[in-house]
Copies of this chain bind each other. A is one copy, B any other.
């Protein structure tokens, strides 16, 4: 794993939210973040926080699978354990400017969460 500015920010953000410190995680998120998530595009830090908060609340564990980055882009893949879903892997591609995430592409499978909601 090469230490780069974008990767440092991505890992600090990841460690914060997986540690249930959403306030801490948001210090790495730009006010004008644009995030393409499975349910659609999120624009702005407030929308991003509203997206992450319910997930952080049900999070019971996490494990980093891979993390790579260069000067301005980082990709992380991880597994998470949540109350309703025991293994919920995700991947994020993050564009970082001046230590803040300005662009995110967030990939995970919503099917197990929808199944848990229906159950």
Contacts and interface: CB of A to CB of B under 8 A. Distances in A.
Contacts of A75: 66, 68, 75, 77, 91
- Counting every copy of the chain, the complex holds 2
Helix, strand, loop or mixed for chain A's interface?
Answer: strand
A91 B109 contact: no
Contacts of A109: 38, 107-111
A5 to B, nearest CB: 15
Interface string A58-96: 000000011011100101010000000000011101000
A8 interface: no
A32 interface: no
Contacts of A38: 109, 111
